[in-house]
Amino acid sequence: KCLDYAKALFDFAAANDKGVGKGGDGPASFYTSSKWEDDYSFAACWLYLITKDHRYLEECLPYVDYYAPPGYVYCWNDMWNGVSILLGRIQDIYPEVCEEYRSAAGRNPYEEIDFWKMEAKAINAYMTGEKGKYSPGGYLFFDKWGSCRYNTAAQFCALLYDKYQNGKDTYNEKNAAYAFSDWAMGQMEYVIGDNPLNRCYVVGYGENAVKYPHHRAASGLTMAEDPGEQKHVLWGALAGGPDKEDNHSDTTADWIYNEVTIDYNAAFTCAAAALYARYGDETMQPEKDFPPAEKGNDNDLFSGDGFWVSGYCQDSPEATGAGVTKLTFFVNTDSLEPHEDISIRYYFSIKEFENNTAIPASFVLQKTYDQVETEVSGKAAALSEPKQYKDDIWYVEISWDGYAIANSNKKYQLIIGMYFGDNWDSSNDWSRKGIKELEGDYDDIVGGVELAEKCDNVCVYAGGKLVGGTEPDGTVPAKKYKAAHLVRLNRMLLGIQDFDSAETAAQFDFNNDGRVDTFDEVRLRQLIAAQID
C-alpha cells in the first residue's frame, strides 16, 4: 500500500510543473528549501531500487548533480549525498546507469562517472576538514543551528559507504580499510559524551546527558520558558549540539543549542544502527525494562492543578523608620491546562503606619522587572494599587491577563514600602513570612531562580479564585478530586499496592476518621460527583 502511494505521488510530481514550495505561513520563515531536484532524484532512485522500473531513472538522471556531494552534507535541504549513495547501489547492479547519466546530463564522453567515488570524495572532505570545520575538541561542525544533525548525517553516509564498499576508499586508496567507519565512531563518541564539556547530547543517555531540550510536551510548557525541572524525559532525542568552539547551553529556551526535531534523530539513529552493525558484539544488549518508570510517587496524584510562587527578598530600612522591601517572584504551575487569567497577591500590614487605616501619599509601589514584558510583544503584567483585605491588612495584585502561565518560573520584581514620611516594617506582613531573605548585592543578581524558595503566603488566583498559597485568614485552595485518586485508593484497598508513606495515606482519609477504608471510597465518589455537579 505504501508503495502504491509512493508511485502515485511520484507520478503526480512527474506529470506537473515542479518548484520549491513556500512551506506555509510558519515554516516559510525557517525552512525554506532552495531546490527540488535532489528530493525528486532521491525518490526516483528508491523507486527504481524497489521496482527495477527503468522509467524512474529516465525521470531523474537529467536532474542529478553529480558533483554536489562534496559541496555539503546530507540534510533536510541537501539530499545529494543520499542520491549519490543510492546511485552507487544502482551502479553495482546496473552499471549502465553511469553511461545513461552521461548521456542524460550531456557530460563529456571522457569524463569519469563513478557515483561511489564521488561519495568517497565527500567523506574524505569531512575527515580532513576541507568541508566543515573541526572544533578544538575534534568535532566536525557545519552549522550552529542543530550541529549534531549534520555531524551524525556525515557519520551515516560514511558508514553506509563502508557497508556497500566493504571498507575500501575508492577516492583515496591510502586510507586504511574502514577508515570512514572508524572516523564516524570517533565523532559519535564525541556526541555521546567524550568532549570538553563531558556532555552527552542524547537526552536520557547517562547522568551527563542534556536535561532541558526545547520540546513543549517534555518540558510541560506552552512557550519557551525555562522550568526548574522538566516534567518528562524525552528519551533518545538528539539535542541541537555544540558550537564550533565546543560550547553548549543546556536550557529549554535555547532552540539553537537544544532544539530537538525529527530530522535531527533521523540520521543519528541510522548512524547508531550502522555503528552497531559494524562494531557491535554480544555485550551490547538492549536495556531491560526500558524506558524506566517516570519519577514520581503517590503525592504526585495530588499535583497537576497546583499553582505556587517562589522567590526571595531584601529589606532596605531607613534610619528614620521608613524603608522598602525588594521582592522577586517566580510564578509556577503544574497544571495540565494553561491559564490566561492568573494573578498573585502580596498581603501586607499597615499596622505600623501613623494612620493605619489608609495608604499615605508617600507609599512606594514600583515594578522593577517583568519577564513577560521583555519576551512577548504586547503582553505585560499589571500591578494594582493597594487594596484593603481586612482591617489593617492590604494587598497588591500582579495580573497576567491574556498570557498563559505555564511551568515557567516567570519572573516579576517590585519594590514596596516608603522612603520617607512614615514607618515601614515588613516583619508583620502576612506574605513576607517565609520568603527567603538575601544578603549582599540584591540588584546585581541575574536570573535568580536557583536562589528562590517557595513562598507559601504569596497567593495565586485563577479568574479571581484562590488556587495557590494561604490567605491571611487561613483559607487554602479547594482540593480537586479525580478518577486517578479512586484507582489508587482501590489498589490499596485490594492489597495490590500500599501507599508510599503515612503522609500519603492521610491524604486518602477523605472522611477524616483517622483510617483509610471503604468508607473513604464512598466519600471520594461523593466528592468527585459533587465536582461534576
pLDDT tens track for 477-491: 888 888 888 988 998
**More confidently predicted of 30 and 531:** 531
Q: What is the pLDDT of residues 436-480, one digit of tens each?
A: 999 989 999 988 888 999 999 999 999 999 999 999 999 998 888
**For the residues of 451-513, what is the DSSP string, one character each?**
G-EE-TTSEEEETTEEEES--TT---PPP---HHHHHHHHHHHTTS---S-HHHHHHT-TT-S
Burial 394-426 (b: 16+ CB within 10 A, else e): bbbbbbbeebbbbbbbbbbbbebbbeeebbbbb
Residue 134 main-chain phi, psi, to 5 deg:
-85, 135
pLDDT given for residue 166 in this prediction: 97
In this model, does residue 28 exceed pLDDT 60? Answer: no
Q: What is the pLDDT of residues 394-420, one digit of tens each?
A: 999 999 998 887 666 789 999 999 999
pLDDT bin (cut points 50, 70, 90) of residue 133 is very high
pLDDT given for residue 305 in this prediction: 62
Residue type, 193: G
- Closest listed residue to residue 246, CA positions, set 203, 209, 196: 196
pTM score above 0.75: no
pLDDT given for residue 228 in this prediction: 66
Q: How far apart are CA 310 and CA 381, in angstroms?
A: 17
Decide if 423 contacts 353 (C-beta within 8 A). yes
**For the residues of 107-122, what is the DSSP string, one character each?**
--TTS---HHHHHHHH
Sorted by where each starts, the structural domains of the chain and their CATH numbers stand as 1-113 (no CATH), 122-281 (1.50.10.10), 303-468 (2.60.40.710), 483-532 (no CATH)
**For the residues of 262-285, what is the DSSP string, one character each?**
HHHHHHHHHHHHHHHHHH--TT--
In this model, does residue 92 exceed pLDDT 80? Answer: yes
Mean pLDDT of 411-433: 96
Residue 316 main-chain phi, psi, to 5 deg:
-130, 80
Q: Residue for cell digits 568552539?
A: 245
Q: Could you give the percent of the chain with pLDDT greater than 90?
A: 74
Decide if 349 contacts 429 (C-beta within 8 A). yes
pLDDT bin (cut points 50, 70, 90) of residue 356 is confident
In this model, does residue 266 exceed pLDDT 90? Answer: yes
In this model, does residue 499 exceed pLDDT 90? Answer: no
Q: In angstroms, how far is CA 19 from the centroid of its own chain?
A: 33
Q: Is the dihedral of CA 43, 45, 48, 50 positive or negative?
A: negative
Q: Is the dihedral of CA 374, 377, 379, 382 positive or negative?
A: positive
pLDDT bin (cut points 50, 70, 90) of residue 257 is very high
In this model, does residue 223 exceed pLDDT 80? Answer: no
In this model, does residue 533 exceed pLDDT 90? Answer: no
Mean pLDDT of 15-32: 70
pLDDT bin (cut points 50, 70, 90) of residue 222 is low
Q: What is the pLDDT of residues 335-354, one digit of tens each?
A: 767 788 999 999 999 999 99
Q: How far apart are CA 337 and CA 405, in angstroms?
A: 10
**More confidently predicted of 470 and 531:** 470
* DSSP state at residue 236: T
pLDDT bin (cut points 50, 70, 90) of residue 300 is low
Mean pLDDT of 508-512: 91
Mean pLDDT of 361-390: 94
pLDDT given for residue 449 in this prediction: 82
Q: How far apart are CA 158 and CA 176, in angstroms?
A: 14
Q: How far apart are CA 301 and CA 489, in angstroms?
A: 11
463 Cβ neighbours under 8 A, 6+ residues apart = 339, 341
Decide if 459 contacts 468 (C-beta within 8 A). yes
Q: Write down the mean pLDDT value for the chain.
A: 92
pLDDT bin (cut points 50, 70, 90) of residue 250 is very high
Q: How far apart are CA 242 and CA 263, in angstroms?
A: 17
Q: Residue for cell digits 548512524?
A: 271
Decide if 149 contacts 262 (C-beta within 8 A). no
Q: How far apart are CA 189 and CA 70, in angstroms?
A: 24
pLDDT given for residue 422 in this prediction: 93
- Closest listed residue to residue 403, CA positions, set 222, 264, 197, 241: 222
- Radius of gyration (Cα) for the chain, nearest Å? 31
pLDDT bin (cut points 50, 70, 90) of residue 270 is very high
pLDDT given for residue 481 in this prediction: 84
Mean pLDDT of 504-525: 92
The full 3-state SS of 298-367, as one line of letters, equals HHHHHCCCCEEEEEEEEEEECCCCCEEEEEEEEEEECCCCCEEEEEEEEEEECCCCCCCCCCCCCCEEEE
In this model, does residue 229 exceed pLDDT 80? Answer: no
In this model, does residue 141 exceed pLDDT 90? Answer: yes
pLDDT given for residue 501 in this prediction: 84
In this model, does residue 210 exceed pLDDT 90? Answer: yes
Q: What is the pLDDT of residues 157-188, one digit of tens each?
A: 999 999 999 999 999 999 999 999 999 999 99
